[in-house]
Each structure stands twice: as structure tokens, then as C-alpha cells.
């Protein structure tokens, strides 16, 4: 049984991105969709109402909390583009020194626009995240 409120939905990620009002977020969202599709070789899935995620794994904490979540993903939020790398940004500090202008949270990376970052580094980071998650969770 999953305790996670953010679960996969049947919404088409392209339809979701098409409805994003902010022009830059919508354009950057489609660029991220293309890049992550190519790099992960996984099908994009909407998780909850606003996150596009790639891959899926099951977790169970010592506390008994368990659920399913995605390996990596993104969401075009109003304030910024949120990128999710589930192992956490601390695992990939070498990439963040080269990424460009960004801020970090627990497992989130916030950017204003793709033009602020090095897309080659983002591709490396995405590939490393998926490789790590597949090796750890299958």
C-alpha cells in the first residue's frame, strides 16, 4: 500500500505541457520532455497534477512508510522550473558545479529558464540519476 499522495495518472504529458500558460515554461517543458525522453529511454508519466516523471521504483522506510515514486522528472511551476532527481542533489554535486544558474532543495533543482544552464551537463546528470536508480532499485 502506498502512502504517497503523488501517484501516476493517465494524463498525457504533452497535453499537460500544452496547457501551461507561461510561454517560457511551456517551451522549456517541451524541450525537457524531448531531452529526458531521449536520455532516459523511459516513457514519461504524469505524477499528480503537475509533475512529469520517468521510471518507477518502490521504497520502504524503517518507519514502515512505503510507496512508489519516479526516478527523475520535472514540473513547469509558475515561479520556476523544478527538476527532480530522487537520489538528491548532494549525490551529484560534481554536476551542479558545472550546471549553471540554479538553486537546490531536498531532491529538487530550481531554474528560471533552460538558457541559464548547460543542457549537456543536465543530460549527464539525468543519465547518472537513472543509472543509479536502476542499479539501486531495478
Give the CATH number of domain 13-137: 3.90.1150.200
Q: If you average pLDDT over each of 4-13, 99-108, 116-125, which comes out highest? A: 116-125
User: In terms of residues, how long is the chain?
Assistant: 138
pLDDT of residue 107: 73
Give the range among 3-7, 74-78, 87-91 with minimum mean pLDDT.
87-91
Q: Which 3-state string (H, E, C) describes the chain?
A: CCCCCCCECCCCHHHHHHCCCCHHHHHHHHHHHHHHHHHHCCCEEEECCCEEEECCEEEECCCCCEEEECCEEEEECCCCEEEEECCCHHHHHHHHHHHECCEECCCEEEECCHHHECHHHHHHHHHHHHHHHHHHHC
Beta carbons of 104 and 96 less than 8 angstroms apart: yes
Burial 21-56 (b: 16+ CB within 10 A, else e): eeeebeebbbebbebbeebbebebbbbeeebbbbbe
Q: Rounded to an integer, what distance in angstroms lies between the CA atom of residue 118 and that of residue 70?
A: 23
Q: Cβ of 113: how many Cβ atoms within 10 Å?
A: 13
The pLDDT tens digits for 60-77 are: 888 888 889 999 999 999
Domain coordinates of the chain in residue numbers? 13-137
- Does pLDDT of 2 surpass 60? no
Amino acid at each position: 500500500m502506498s502512502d504517497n499522495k503523488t501517484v501516476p495518472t493517465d494524463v498525457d504529458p504533452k497535453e499537460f505541457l500544452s496547457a501551461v500558460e507561461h510561454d517560457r515554461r511551456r517551451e522549456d517543458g517541451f524541450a525537457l520532455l524531448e531531452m529526458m525522453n531521449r536520455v532516459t529511454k523511459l516513457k514519461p508519466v504524469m505524477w499528480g497534477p503537475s509533475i512529469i516523471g520517468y521510471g518507477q521504483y518502490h521504497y520502504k522506510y524503517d518507519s514502515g512508510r512505503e510507496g512508489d515514486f519516479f526516478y527523475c522528472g520535472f514540473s513547469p511551476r509558475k515561479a520556476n522550473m523544478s527538476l527532480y532527481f530522487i537520489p538528491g542533489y548532494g549525490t551529484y554535486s560534481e554536476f551542479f558545479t558545472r550546471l549553471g544558474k540554479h538553486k537546490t532543495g531536498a531532491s529538487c533543482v530550481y531554474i528560471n529558464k533552460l538558457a541559464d544552464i548547460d543542457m549537456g551537463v543536465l543530460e549527464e546528470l539525468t543519465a547518472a540519476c537513472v543509472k543509479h536508480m536502476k542499479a539501486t532499485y531495478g
